[in-house]
Amino acid sequence: MSTSRRRRGLFAATAVSAATLLAVTAAAGGATAAPTAGPGEGKAASADKNLSKERKGNYDARTPNAKTTYDRAAKVAGKESAASKKFRDSLGIQGVAEIDPNTGTPAQVTKLNGFLTGRSAKKAPDVVLAYVKAHPEVFKLTTADLATLKLRKDYVDDLGIHHVFWSQVVDGTEVFGNGLKANVTKHGELISIMGSPVAGLTAQAQARSADPAVSADQARTKAADDIDATAATATAKTTGNDVKWTNGDTAKQVWFHTADGLRKGWMTYVNAGGTKVYTHVIDAQTGALLYRRDLSSAGNGDALVQDNYPGAAKGGTQRVENLIYNKWLPKNAKTLLEGTSVAAWADINDDNQPNTGETVNVPGTPTGGQYKIVPFQSSSTFCSAVFVCTWDPAKPDSWKTNMNQDVTNGFYLASNFHDWLAKPPISFTKAAGSFDADGGDPVLLNALDGAGTGADGGPDANHMNNANMNTPPDGTPPTMQMYLFQDPSGGYIPSSSSNDASILYHEYTHGLSNRLVVDATGNGTLNSIQAGSMGEAWSDFYAMDYLVAHNLEKDTTGPGEILEGKYVGHGGLFRTQAIDCRVKAVSPNCIQPDGSKGGYTYGDFPTIGGAPEVHASGEVWAQTLWDLRERFGRAYALSIITRAMELSPADPTMLDMRNAIVQADLVASGGKNAGIIWQVFANRGMGWFAGVLDGGDPFPIEDFHKPPTGATTTVTGVVTDKDTGAPVPGALVFVGGHASGYAGDYAATTDAAGKYKITGVAPGTYGKFVVSGPGLEVLTAPLTVKAGGTTANFAPRHNWAASSGGAAVVGFNGPDFSPQCGPAYAINSSQGTGWGSTTGNDAGAPSGVMIPKHVDIKLGAPVTVTKFSVDPSNTCGDPGSASTGKYRIETSADGQTWATAQEGEFTAANRGKYTELAPTANATGVQYVRFWMLSPQVPDFANNCPAGAFGGCRFTDMTELQVFGNK
């Protein structure tokens, strides 16, 4: 089994954002690589505390080669034409013209305070294409390029907005991810265009026309191998370039565009059992990994169900609901809960198949409802009349007693929520991507998932205290896995997530968000720490909105009442705070971990759970959405929040989604509520001057201001090398949170004299002003822009280890995971990529013995080292424990004789950021630097490896090494 096929991917966007270049690894707090995992996963601050939480993350080959190199971004910005700049200026202060540095075409063109065009009687697709044709200076699409566009989808939401999608197709093969995605009002006004279409596509495809050297079956095998799994035995059926296996796996030929050009690939969907459900793109010629996305984020017909949870004051008593009358089951249904939008069974052995003994007969008897719940009130001290326990972990197979009830209740809740989401104001309809049997993608609900996988008649460690939902693109069924909860150390009652409406609705909402926040070809794009955090927050918000709207949970005038997961947590906090905590609220459920009064603001993002993590970090977004609900009422709030998902760019930051909500209001009310909406976000630290690099940035800078009015001004300055004083040409300068693409607003490139000029900047203090150039460190600092213009000069240090400044890798040991995670990424000046290696042998076998790995770097010149700077973080989608722990840095004048200059140990506190280290010896005349990874950050390595499930037992990584000094 080749390890080159088994590397993980970092959190990567599937479309562009303005500063992925500076993205720090989102897994700073552990395994945040599964953004749609269940709400219980946010309970611990670090995945290292739970062996079941470490799993492989997302990877996108377009990221390291396009969006994480300053050189390429600066070149794109430097090529902007006068016509393109004129176009940007025409959009005004709240205009957005975000350019993809991979394709050089727009990732997003829009305005927050108006539409791009006036009213039109033309059809929505015609409005969009006319605008694209009218602006070749920006879109760069020729007549031949326009001919590759294939209208894929055009649906209308409840505000009358047309959401129009085009894929790009050459020779019958579709481009993965790229295309056009646009939004047009019912009056024909163009709201936005997105998608990063590929210019010159036909010529590129002709140069790559060779038949695949890798078969569809081989690609499926490689995809399963990549996630440490085995593809299920199944029979394949081929139709054209599409292959489908009898177990539901698929493979499809696609084009995949990177900064290095177009490649032919196989896009696979592989369900390898358990939570190993992923989409990959495998290079059709080389078999290399191009893309990985983790899709896991949880009378006849008379059934006894409850609407909330067993014992709840409201909705906690079982009542009769007819599953056939509600059209959730066909009239002739008898032996299977296989309905119009949900198919449910007890997946006891976690093979994702309804085996004998796992299915439930359709409930109902001549005398009434069926499947009464049997309490297990002696199974824990947490059990009570208001929190009814449903099994006993101390009694083998006790979960079997309520199996029929558990599956049936899950089926009811999921079917009910499907119908609820389809109604206005949410309007998650079949056209928008809802889950329906007649559309080929009902929810496959695996209740009691893995309940029989343990040795003691219960679940093993990987199948408890959680739930998840994977969401493939429209047309492929999602799988929802609902686990048992139990007491031992987590504070949970012995119960089932299928009996907790807040958890099941949370999981179902992952399907909503992953079907609405998509790229041009319909792939979900909630990949990064910011986007994944919003995914968790939306799930909490829609779940609790339903329960409050139906008077199942109370929402009085006081904050701190509305708790996700209240049942399994026996009334305690499942999140760190309640969802209805206003800023500075004094309720006990609104106290921050440091003792200050809640709720959260944007600056709390990295610290809510002790480290950046999607469930905890998402709480600031969930509370902000609840603010909108309280301010506008649920109907209007739900309308603009949902429509904003459809208007969103791919892999959005919270600031991007703020903008999308402002745009949704522009459509719904003509923008009359914009001031209130901006104030709500400003109160939460997401004001106009807030700073964030991109979706992968877990350390945003908060701001509490609404958009400024009045004249704009100019920021000018010079970038020089701190060590030499020489001007730095080709440096990229931009304002994080406002740099609408590298060639967009609030961004510039320095000229030959090191000078830059950014026009159209609103006065105020911006949280993240970012500067970097070839061979230099990245500087990020606040900047106050004055009304009369501002001069801001910067002098970054020379990073002698940067490949862009002439440094090179001249040696290393261990396997070479290039092009995805090779040693060269340790010196590419990006925290978005890194060097991944194995812990033990080159095969990555978890032997429990660390074989130290080193990388040797020839610096750009001999120097006297003043500081080393290291980001030891996990990379390539490996979990947090794969970060470098113990390390040693050696120096050499000739690359032959080495001496120690620094050594020590990194911990979880060092993840996701640079740590500067002064040399303790051997710092003069240094031409070569050797960095040793001596251990991963696996707690108690000797005992936890190889038996443990820690990713660091197999892989050890580091993200970046910098070397500063004087010649």
Phi, psi of 866 (to 5 degrees): -105, -35
pLDDT of residue 16: 22
**Domains 556-683 and 803-966 alike in fold:** no
Mean pLDDT of the chain: 87
Positive/negative CA dihedral, 938, 876, 69, 759: negative
80 pLDDT more than 80? no
What is the rounded distance in angstroms from the CA atom of residue 133 to the CA atom of residue 580? 47
Percent of the chain with pLDDT over 70: 91
Read off the pLDDT band of 740 (50, 70, 90): very low
Give 225-235 pLDDT, tens digit per residue.
888 888 988 99
Q: Write out the two tokens for 590.
A: 């609104």
In sequence order, the 6+-apart residues with CB closer than 8 A to the CB of 135 are 87
What is the rounded distance in angstroms from the CA atom of residue 684 to the CA atom of residue 583? 7
192 pLDDT more than 80? yes
pLDDT of residue 78: 65
The class of domain 556-683 in CATH terms is mainly alpha
5 pLDDT more than 80? no
Q: Write out the two tokens for 556.
A: 């009085």
What is the rounded distance in angstroms from the CA atom of residue 94 to the CA atom of residue 113? 6
Considering only CA atoms, which of 694, 613, 834, 617 is closest in space to residue 27?
A: 613
Whole-angstrom CA distances from 226 to 458, 474, 526 are 29, 24, 21
pLDDT of residue 22: 22
151 pLDDT more than 80? yes
- Residue type at 113 in one-letter notation: N
- At residue 626, the 3 state secondary structure works out as helix
In sequence order, the 6+-apart residues with CB closer than 8 A to the CB of 159 are 186, 639, 643, 664, 667, 668
The arithmetic mean of pLDDT across residues 323-347, rounded, is 91
The domains of the chain are located at 92-207, 302-499, 556-683, 803-966
Whole-angstrom CA distances from 963 to 265, 827, 865 are 38, 10, 7
Q: Write out the two tokens for 365.
A: 């008897």
Rg (CA), the chain: 27
pLDDT of residue 921: 97
Contact 658, 687 (CB under 8 A): no
Residue appearing with tokens 């105020």: 764
Give 504-543 pLDDT, tens digit per residue.
999 999 999 999 999 999 999 998 889 999 999 999 999 9
Contact 649, 98 (CB under 8 A): yes
Considering only CA atoms, which of 104, 120, 153 is closest in space to residue 518?
A: 153
Beta pairing partners, 769: 735, 781
Q: Write out the two tokens for 11.
A: 């959190």
Domain 803-966 falls in which CATH fold?
A: Jelly Rolls (2.60.120)
pLDDT of residue 39: 31
Query: Which has the higher per-residue pLDDT, 760 or 422?
Result: 422
14 pLDDT more than 80? no
Give 835-866 pLDDT, tens digit per residue.
999 999 998 888 889 999 999 999 999 999 99
Beta pairing partners, 814: none
The arithmetic mean of pLDDT across residues 384-401, rounded, is 95
pLDDT of residue 33: 28
Contact 515, 471 (CB under 8 A): yes
786 pLDDT more than 80? yes
Give the predicted TM-score (pTM) of the model. Answer: 0.87
Domain 302-499 falls in which CATH fold?
A: Elastase; domain 1 (3.10.170)
